[in-house]
Amino acid sequence: MSRTVFILGDTVEAWATGLYVRRVLDKLVDNVVIAPSAEHRTSEPSALVAPPQTKRFFSSLGLTEEILFREAGASFLLGAEIRAQETFTLAYGQYGVPANSVPFHHFWMRMMDVDAAAPFDHYSFGAELARSGRFVHPSPDPKRIESSFDYGYTLEGTAFGACLRAQALSAGVMQASAQDIEEVSPWLVLDCTGRESRGNWVSWPDLPESFSVDEEVSEEPSGNLSVYTVQRLADGVSICLHPRKPTVTRRLGISAGGECRTGRSEAPWRGNAVSLGGSACQLPGLHSPQFLLLHAQLDLLASLLPAENVAVDVVAAEYNRRATRMMDNVADFDALALTSLKKAGLWRYSAPSLARKAEQFVSRGRPVTYDDELYSEQDWIAAFIGAGFLPERVSPLALAAPLEAVERNYEGLRRAIVQAASRLPDQQQYLDHLLSIQQGAPNAV
C-alpha cells in the first residue's frame, strides 16, 4: 500500500508540516499532499515569533538563517519586553550565574532584602542586549559572557508562508483539492487547519474562555527590533512584533465571546488523524508558542510513527498522553504571562500544576517542572519574577556565602554585562552587514 500523508489546511503550519514530513520522514512516506480545507483559518498573522528552540526545527526543515533573512524578512529576536507597572525584559537565556549549583535568583533575593539589587533583568546579558537593541551571535566559548544568551527570529508572516510553500513544493509536497482527498485513502491525515478540531475540547481554568485577534496593524518599521512588546489594554493585550519590516501591532481580545475557544483537544490523535498546531490547541499565546508546539508535536509524532504489525492505538495513546501534557504545560506558561500584565503577586491559580509551581516559587524560589515541559526552569524563574512573584524565603544553600561577597560578585557581573553589551553593534547595523555579505556571497551566514 502506498503511504500517503494528507495535510489539511492552507496554513503556515500546514506547509511547515509538509516540509517536515518530506525532509525528516522522507523515505517513509510516498506522497505528501496538502489540501486546503473549507474550514481552515482564514487570515494568517502578519508577523510570527520563532523562539530559540525552533532553530532546530528550522534546521530540520532545511531553512538556513540565510533563507530566513532572504525570504522571510527575519530579524533576530532576544526576548519579550513586558510592559506592566514596570517594564521587564523576559530574555532567552541565562539570568545571573549560579554559585555552587545554587541558582542566581536566590542570591538576587538576598540582595533585594538589603536594597542592594538592581532589577532582575539587569543581570542577564540577553536582556541587556535586548533592551539596548544590539545583537551579535552568541559566543561558543562557555566562559564568555557573550555565550549566556540565546536568540530566535521574528518573521514576516506572508513572506514566511510563501517561503515555506515554495520550499515544500520544491521538496515534493503536492497540492490537491478537498475532493481529491476523498478519493484516496491516506495513511495519515494531519489536520493543520488551525481550527478547533472535532471531538472533546478541554479548557484551562486559568486562561480566559475565549479570545480573538481583534486587529492587526502593519506600519513602517519602528522601535526595537530585538524584542516584541507585550502590553495590557483595557479589554485585552497588545503585542508589537518587529520583523525587518513592517512593524506589526496585534490586538488580542481576551474577554468572553471571542471567536477562538481556548483549550485543547482531549485526544489529538484519533484513528489515523492527528490534529496539529492550532487545531489541537488554541490559547492567547502571549509568547507565541505556535512553532514551539508544532515542532514538539511533529518530533513526537515522528518518534511514534505507526509501525507494521503494531496496532495504531498503542502509539496514539502514548502520543495523546504526552502531547496533551505538553500543551497543558504551555498553557500554564501562558496563564502566567497573562498574570504578568495584571497586579502581581496576589494571584491564585486553579490548575493544580500551575498552582503548585506558583506556590513553590513563592515559598522558596523552587522551580517545579514536570515531564514534557517545553520551557526550561530558567524560563519559568524569569517568568515568575517578571510577573511579580517573589520568593518569600531563599534556599538555605544561598545563605552560606557572605552577603558582601555576593554583592561584590554580582555587581561585577552586572558591570561586565553592560560593558560587554556596549561594545556590540546595533541589530540594524549587524543585519545590514550580514545582508551585504549575503548578497555578495550567498553562503556567508
Partner 1 sequence: MQVRRIVIAGGGTAGWMTAAGLSKLLGPLGLDICLVESEQIGTVGVGEATLPHMRFFNRTLGLDERELMAFTNATFKLGIEFRDWARIGDSYVHPFGDYGPADQEIPFHHVWHRLHAEGRAGRIDDFSLPVRMSERGKFDFPSTDPDNLLSTFSYAYQLDASLYAKYLRRFSEANGVRRIEGRIMSVERNGDSGDIRALALESGERLEGELFIDCTGFRAMLIGKEMGAEFDDWSNWLPCDRAIAVACEMAGESVAYTRATARPAGWQWRIPLQHRTGNGHVYSSDCMSDDEAADILLGSLEAKALGDPKFLRFKAGMRPKQWVGNCVSIGLSSGFLEPLESTSIYLIQAGITALAELMPSGGVDTRDIEEFNRVMQLEYDRIRDFLILHYHVTERDDSDFWNYVRTMSIPDSLREKIELFRSRGVVQEYKDGLFLHPSWVAVYLGQRVMPQGRDPRADAMDEARLNEMLDLPAQIERKLDPCAAHEDAVKSYCKPRMAAPS
List of residues contacting partner 1 (CB under 8 A): 25-28, 302-311, 314-315, 318, 359-360, 363-364, 366, 368-373, 393-397, 399-401
Taking the C-alpha atoms of residue 412 and residue 406, their distance in angstroms, rounded to an integer, is: 10
CB of residue 185 to partner 1, shortest distance in Å: 19
- Angle formed by the axes of helices 104-113 and 403-422, nearest 10°: 110
Output the CA angle 253-255-257, nearest 5 degrees. Answer: 100
CB of residue 21 to partner 1, shortest distance in Å: 12
Q: How many CA atoms lie within 13 A of 404 on its CB side?
A: 0
Of the two residues 24 and 97, which places its CB atom closer to partner 1 in the complex?
Answer: 24
Taking the C-alpha atoms of residue 196 and residue 410, their distance in angstroms, rounded to an integer, is: 48
Of the two residues 170 and 363, which places its CB atom closer to partner 1 in the complex?
Answer: 363
Reading phi first (left if > 0) and then psi (alpha if -120 to 50, else beta), residue 300 is in: alpha
DSSP assignment of 343-374 equals STT----SSHHHHHHHHHHHHH------TT-S
What is the amino acid identity at position 74?
A
Of the two residues 372 and 411, which places its CB atom closer to partner 1 in the complex?
Answer: 372
Tell me which DSSP letter residue 147 carries. Answer: G
CB of residue 164 to partner 1, shortest distance in Å: 23
Strands 236-241 and 247-253: antiparallel
Of the two residues 76 and 384, which places its CB atom closer to partner 1 in the complex?
Answer: 384
Of the two residues 181 and 394, which places its CB atom closer to partner 1 in the complex?
Answer: 394
- Angle formed by the axes of helices 290-303 and 54-61, nearest 10°: 60
Buried b vs exposed e over 298-322: b needs ≥16 C-beta within 10 Å? Answer: bebbeebebeeeeebeebbeebbeb
Q: Is residue 351 within 8 Å of residue 338, measured between CB atoms?
A: no
CB of residue 395 to partner 1, shortest distance in Å: 5
Of the two residues 41 and 106, which places its CB atom closer to partner 1 in the complex?
Answer: 106
In degrees and rounded to multiples of 5, residue 414 shows phi and psi of -60, -45
Of the two residues 49 and 173, which places its CB atom closer to partner 1 in the complex?
Answer: 173
In degrees and rounded to multiples of 5, residue 175 shows phi and psi of -110, 145
CB of residue 364 to partner 1, shortest distance in Å: 7
CB of residue 375 to partner 1, shortest distance in Å: 13
Of the two residues 322 and 342, which places its CB atom closer to partner 1 in the complex?
Answer: 322
Kind plus residue range of the DSSP H or E element containing 337: helix 312-339
CB of residue 403 to partner 1, shortest distance in Å: 12
Counts for the chain of helices (H) and strands (E), in that order: 13, 19
- C-alpha grid cell, residue 302: 515522528
CB of residue 323 to partner 1, shortest distance in Å: 14
Of the two residues 262 and 329, which places its CB atom closer to partner 1 in the complex?
Answer: 329
Cα-atom radius of gyration of the chain, to the nearest Å?
22
CB of residue 249 to partner 1, shortest distance in Å: 38
Rounded to the nearest angstrom, the gap between the alpha carbon of residue 169 and the centroid of all alpha carbons in its chain is: 26
CB of residue 3 to partner 1, shortest distance in Å: 9
Of the two residues 208 and 391, which places its CB atom closer to partner 1 in the complex?
Answer: 391
